[in-house]
Amino acid sequence: MNKRLFAIGDIHGCFDSLKELVENKIQLQKSDKLILLGDYIDRGDKSKAVVDFIIELQDKGYNIVPLMGNHEVMLLDACENGKNVSKWILNGGNETLKSFEIISIKSIEPKYLKFFKELEYYYSFDEFLFVHAGFNDNLVNPFSDFYSMLWKCKEFYTNPLLANKTIIHGHNPVSVSKCEERVLFKLDVINIDTGCVYKDKEGFGRLTAYECNTRRIDFV
């Protein structure tokens, strides 16, 4: 039996959904590999709990590969330069501060900053590429443009290094039905950010896991 290979889209502080998806819906095993596509924090009200849960899974020996999202980068940028704090706050940083029970980003514990700083920008496994947003299709080496990995999504690629890969990403929320459609048609680029934090928006508000080997999607 092939080991399972999962990816989970943008979480944005939706800890309850993440816990339900991992523990009950997909019932993650230590023999599985789980790639998390970034944006663990901001907007939702339980960012700290999300990060604690990821760290706890890693500490327990689960095979977790957490990737960098643009919201993690905004937090790190805000830590390094006070001029960037307002941009982060405008993008949901206030909710993250509340979840950490602090009023200043300078008060975030070093272990969390270490977690954020060590996140990878993309991950390659077999025929799959995992990234928060997308790649710069125009570069000879698309893996050198970290900005595009965080901010730029595309629905197809022509770069020889990308063309024969299935790219799993998040960043731009899509409806559950559009996500299901791209999986059903076995497209080469699959967006699994189904807007978990947007519970009041019709067709969105779900957290999605995609099992790459069986091309199965699960929502909570």
In a domain, 180, yes or no: yes
Q: Residue 112: CA atoms inside 13 Å, Cβ hemisphere, count?
A: 23
Distances (CA, A) of 151 to 69, 120, 136: 9, 15, 10
Q: State pLDDT tens for residues 21-79.
A: 999 999 999 999 999 999 999 999 999 999 999 999 999 999 999 999 999 999 999 99
Q: State pLDDT tens for residues 180-189.
A: 999 999 999 9
In a domain, 76, yes or no: no
Give me the CATH number covering residue 170: 3.60.21.10
Query: What is the total count of domains within the chain?
Result: 1
- What is the reported pLDDT for 2? 67
In a domain, 102, yes or no: no
In a domain, 95, yes or no: no
Q: Is the pLDDT reported for residue 1 higher than 60? A: no
Distances (CA, A) of 142 to 36, 69, 81, 117, 187: 21, 17, 28, 21, 20
In a domain, 96, yes or no: no
Q: State pLDDT tens for residues 140-195.
A: 999 999 999 999 999 999 999 998 899 999 999 999 999 999 999 999 999 999 99
Q: State pLDDT tens for residues 64-87.
A: 999 999 999 999 999 999 999 999
Please, are residues 123 and 46 in contact by the beta-carbon 8 Å criterion? no
Q: Is the pLDDT reported for residue 16 higher than 60? A: yes
In a domain, 25, yes or no: yes
In a domain, 99, yes or no: no
Work out the angle at residue 26's Cα, subtended by the Cα atoms of residues 113 and 128, and round it to the nearest 5 degrees.
Answer: 70
pTM: 0.97
Buried b (16+ CB within 10 A) or exposed e, 32-67: bbbbbbbbbbbbbbbbbbbbbbbbebeeeebbbbbb
In a domain, 184, yes or no: yes
Range of the domain at 183: 5-67+121-219
As given in the structure block, the two tokens for residue 35 are 């790639």
Q: Is the pLDDT reported for residue 139 higher than 70? A: yes
